[in-house]
Structures are given as C-alpha cells and as structure tokens.
Amino acid sequence: MQSGTPMTTAGDTALVETQSGAAFPPAGVSVVVFDVVGTLVEPSPSVAVAYQRAALRHGLNVDAAVIEQRFKAAWRRQEMVDAAAVPAFATSRGREAERWRAIVDDVFGGEPVSATIFADLWDHFGLVEAWRPLAHGRDLVRLAVDAGVTVALASNFDERLLAIAEQLEPLSWVPHVFASSEIGWRKPAPEFFRWIERRLGCEPTEVLLVGDDPELDVAAARRAGWRSLGVADR
C-alpha cells in the first residue's frame, strides 16, 4: 500500500474496485505512465463534429456519421502504413503531419479544399479548448501523484500535446510529457517504451502503463515488460 490517503470520488472508487480490487497504483510500481487521448482527455466536440464544422467553414457539407466512418478507416490505413514501414512505427514531426494530412484527404475524398480544411483542423486540435478531461482519468492521475510515484504522459499524439498539457488538468499535474513525434517512435514499437525507461532511469518491471487501447497501450506495454492497466473509453 502507498502511504497517505488519496482524495477520491465515488466514481473513482468504483473504477479502482473494478480493477481486481487492487490499490492504485499497485504495490511495486514506482512509475505510472498514462496514455492521453481516450484515457485522460477526449475531443470535445467529437472528431466527426470538429471535421464537419471545419468542412462547412470551407463550403463542404458532409454528414457527421459519414465522416466518423471514413475517419476510422483512414486512421486504420495510416496505422497500417506505419506497421509496414521499415523500421515499423518510427515517426517524426514530419510523419505525424503527413499522417493527419492523409487522414483529412481520405475523409473528404481528395476534394481540393481538403488542404485548407487540414490546416484548420491542425490548428483546432492544437487548442486546449478542443479537449475535455475524462473524470476517471483525472482520478487516476490524482491517485498516482498523491502516492508520490513518478508520473508521465506517453502519447502517440505529436508536439501539439506539449502546449496542451501545460494548460489542461489533469495533464498539467504531470511533470513528464512524452509525445511520439519527439521520441521518434509510436506505440506499439518496443523502442517507444525503451526510450521512456532511459529518460526516466527506470526498469521495465517497475512501470505501469494506463491506457484505453487494448493493443497500442495494454498489450504493447506488456510485451515491453511493463505492467499495464486498461481503462474503458467510456
């Protein structure tokens, strides 16, 4: 057990009790690394609505449900591009910008205006106002901080995360912010996890990753020798 009594809410207690009844962070964990999108924050409005509004500003009217479907397919397509690359899941600021440009192009069917919509959306998702904290994530960050362990954010988001994390709770409570574009690797690459261990000076077995993605967070962290905890994406 960690010393001290963390401030918790009823919602948080319910969440923690569903995780095998174990305390959070679990005994033996000295570093807790949080995924960001879907774990601590979510887009608000939704991605589909943000895309729809951006398109409307540039004279293109596309149904939000259609956008959502196309976005999921486009996002998966870019994950496959990274998986097939040599080395797999290496990234950079340039690659991340290219990913989002390709996704926006796919969503809007290569319409010429999609370049302008892309620029609009790139700015939008870099604003703190585009994101909303998730209550269960905030509770877990509070518990980790109160427990006195090292706490970090580790996201496949790009350098835009760095400015957002300074301004938005609970991200702003966390001293270490790692974005894939800055690391040079994306989850699930093992290099992503090794890079963080080196930066924090810790062993894999003392790290717990908390994330919403069963593959990119939970399974990839375990393959890297970390512990991991899946949280539901609501």
Coil, helix or strand at residue 157: coil
Residue 183 and residue 199 in contact, taking contact as beta carbons nearer than 8 Å: no
| Shortest reach from residue 40's CB to Mg ion, in Å | 9
96 near Mg ion, judged by CB under 5 A: no
The CA dihedral of 200, 206, 209, 214, to the nearest 10 degrees, is 140
User: What string marks each residue from 169 to 208 as x (binds Mg ion by CB under 5 A) or -?
Assistant: ----------------------------------------
> Nearer to Mg ion by C-beta: 25 or 38?
38
Residue of minimal CB distance from Mg ion? 38
38 near Mg ion, judged by CB under 5 A: yes
Strands (DSSP E) contained in the chain are 31-34, 41-43, 131-133, 150-155, 176-179, 207-211, 227-230
The CA–CA distances, whole Å, from 155 to 36, 90, 108 equal 6, 14, 26
Show contacts with Mg ion in window 212-231 (CB under 5 A): 212-213
| Shortest reach from residue 179's CB to Mg ion, in Å | 13
Which residues are at the interface with Mg ion (CB under 5 A)?
A: 35, 37-38, 212-213
